[in-house]
Amino acid sequence: MATLDRIEALRRQHSTLDTKLGDEEHRPLPDETIVAELKRQKLRIKDEINQLSRHV
């Protein structure tokens, strides 16, 4: 059960990062450093979700 809870928490974090990324990308002058960092965080979370999903 803890694994499923962790996956759900990661999905919420991924969604939050996706929203932040969209907000940043739609600014008149998006900060590319922030965009790159948000993308890295999203990828790290996605990888962790995939890894945990294999063990469920």
Examine the pLDDT at 47 and tell me if it is beyond 70.
Answer: yes
pLDDT band at 56 (very low <50, low <70, confident <90, very high): confident
pLDDT for 21 equals: 98
Examine the pLDDT at 1 and tell me if it is beyond 80.
Answer: no
pLDDT by residue (tens digit) across 10-40?
999 999 999 999 999 999 999 999 999 999 9
Residue 38 to residue 5: CA distance in whole angstroms: 23
Residue 24 to residue 56: CA distance in whole angstroms: 34
pLDDT for 36 equals: 98
Residue 6 to residue 1: CA distance in whole angstroms: 9
DSSP 55: T
Lookup: tokens for 17:
């990062």
pLDDT for 55 equals: 85
Task: Give the start-to-end residue ranges of the domains of the chain.
Answer: 2-54
Could you give the residue ranges of the DSSP H alpha helices within 1-56? 2-25, 32-54
